Amino acid sequence: MALKKTLNYLRPPSYWLFYVNILIAFFVGIFIYTLYVSNAVSYLSDDPKTCINCHVMRSEFATWQHSSHREVAVCNDCHVPHDNVFNKYFFKAKDGLRHATMFTFRMEPQVIKMHAAGQAVVLKNCQNCHENINREVGLLSITLEDKMHGNGKLCWDCHREVPHGRVKGLNSAPNSKVQMPGSAIPDFIRNLNTNTK
């Protein structure tokens, strides 16, 4: 009963109904088109080509393709937590929204660097994958907080070349052959120009 009363209260007056429906349809259409343009469904997969949906990540993709990690790890193996499926997709969503906001408003830096949360995830994944090797050198107990307080080193302090190389930036791999994402313009709109006589 209370739900019905609340819905009746929120319902616009009948003379506004047409305009409200048009406005809702507009925002639903913009939302669906945004999902289409951003290829949002691809972010649910572990395919490394998803990372080049944004042109900014082309050099990271190209350098990973020529690294030793290419044969054993994809982007999500290093950059996403693996403790449980909920944390994995929560982190992907949170990080993805951060990236989308930065790229949309052109706030991306020339040299992309991991933020603290990303560094903690990558460090944990390095330690998990290389657990047998690290046992001999005592790096399994190092955390990001230890490094910030001057105790110990992170994996990439020594292994700077892995997997993206030492030179970083939007122009670090200018001639690399990286598949470009498809056009954001739907086929039926693109075909309008070719079909007119």
Instruction: Write out pLDDT tens, residues 54-80.
Output: 777 888 888 888 888 989 999 999 999
Q: In this structure, what token pair is assigned to residue 23?
A: 């406005």
Q: Is the dihedral of CA 9, 14, 17, 19 positive or negative?
A: negative
- What is the pTM (predicted TM-score) of this model? 0.71
Q: Would you say 114 and 137 are in contact if contact means Cβ atoms under 8 Å apart?
A: no
10-residue averages of pLDDT along the chain (197 residues) = 82 85 95 85 86 79 86 92 93 88 84 86 89 69 73 81 76 66 68 65
Q: Residue type at 55?
A: H
CB 20 within 8 A of CB 12: yes
